[in-house]
Chain A
């Protein structure tokens, strides 16, 4: 063939439509912001019911995780994610979805090797590097407090 690999890469890049950044960012902003606003509303609600700030914040997380897991189980969350992208992926709801969805998917492989083994297949790396980063941050903080 007369087309070289390098030439072909240019041809393929040209033929492949780019991601719709503008639309994706607007949707992510609206849905991500919406989820955060919802969290804020729950915070006010729990404070109104007499919980302290720390307790109310914890309950907000629990509520959002529950709602995300419920919407995932009802097969709705992935349809939100399709349009919202990072907007529904980044908040705590996305993290819940990333754990519930493999748990549902791999149920056929059994409770131990299926649900147990595959539940963290997407969230696993986030946990590993999240915890590693927090340890590093803690060390830096500890180091600065020495002086």
Chain B
């Protein structure tokens, strides 16, 4: 059973096992610095579908199916799937996963969805509610642009603080430790974040809006678990981008916590900032999902990384709230991954 530690952290005493994972990405992401780590890169970002929404759905479906195949499991072996995306009513998840016939629980955490679904899935497995659970999420640049911003062919300019929504999907399958003693990667703790709102209103500066949420969750975790950043090989936030990451380090610095030597951010990793013209970095549910479900988990399996804190950050605004002049509430969820 999960043990509550401190005020906000759940300790997973059985260390639920990562059974499999997969990342599926689009062309731009495939051309990025982590291109070689993904399971599938689609050069045609429509994936041969007639709409961007269908393309995103298919990407999410592929991520689950590849993860199942890699771990020699069938869809019927999964007791519960937690999934989410950026689109209204999470249609990428519902349409993408409807054929899988797995009990489905839709989640919305904006770009924090990978950490949120992974955290909940781990609690389900830890508590025995599920023998095996899946966490999956996706985002697509084109479907996000048309919902949140302008049509693709509109000739506007992006601000220097804007982040580029990643066309990507990622899936992690979890199972009970006792059934999978050989699994290299496990989850040790989860901290669900509180909503933080520091008054940032610019929807084109989401990194700045989300940095305080990430700082708050990390501080909660360090306090609850009585640990410090030095005990981890990597603190991976996603997706603060370049501006948000700088602000996170600055906020924590003022609290006397130095994460700089071990900190990296999925939004800074997924693209080459200069060559790929992405301004402040990447974003979108799929950004942190793709980085985690490729390079990071692979490096953990290979023994290059042992203790990793994965902190998914989400900006919880909508076009409606932004148009009504509201500031951007943000949240960050933390998952503590460990490799044996």
Contact = CB atoms under 8 A, between A and B. Distances in A.
Interface size class of B (residues with CB under 8 A): 20 to 34
Contacts of A102: 151, 154
A3 B154 contact: no
A8 B155 contact: no
A9 B199 contact: yes
Contact of B155 (A1, A20, A80, A106): A80
B255 A2 contact: yes
Interface in A71-121: 72-73, 75, 77-78, 80-82, 84-85, 88-89, 94, 97-98, 100-102, 104-106, 108
A8 B199 contact: yes
Interface string B45-76: 00000110000000000000000000000000
B152 A105 contact: yes
B205 A12 contact: yes
Nearest to B50: A108
A80 B215 CA distance: 39
A24 interface: yes
Contact of A82 (B157, B208, B243, B254): B157
Contacts of A11: 247, 250-251
Find the residue from A8, A16, A82, A106 having the highest chain B CB count within 10 A.
A16
Contacts of A108: 50-51
Contacts of A54: none
B330 to A, nearest CB: 12
Contact of A94 (B151, B155, B212, B251): B155
Nearest to A100: B153
A17 interface: yes
Nearest to A98: B154
Contacts of B179: none
Given A16-B160, A78-B154, A1 B205 contact: no
Interface residues of A, number: 38
B198 interface: yes
A17 B155 CA distance: 22
A101 B51 CA distance: 16
B130 to A, nearest CB: 35
A39 B145 CA distance: 32
A95 to B, nearest CB: 11
A18 B151 contact: no
Interface in A36-58: none
Nearest to B216: A1
Given A19-B160, A75-B153, A78-B154, A3 B254 contact: yes
Interface of B: 50-51, 146, 150-161, 198-200, 205, 208, 212, 215-216, 219, 243, 246-247, 250-251, 254-255
28 contacts: A1-B212, A1-B219, A1-B255, A3-B251, A8-B251, A11-B250, A12-B198, A12-B200, A12-B208, A15-B246, A17-B160, A18-B160, A20-B160, A24-B157, A72-B155, A73-B153, A77-B155, A78-B152, A78-B153, A78-B155, A81-B157, A97-B155, A100-B153, A101-B150, A101-B151, A102-B151, A104-B151, A104-B153
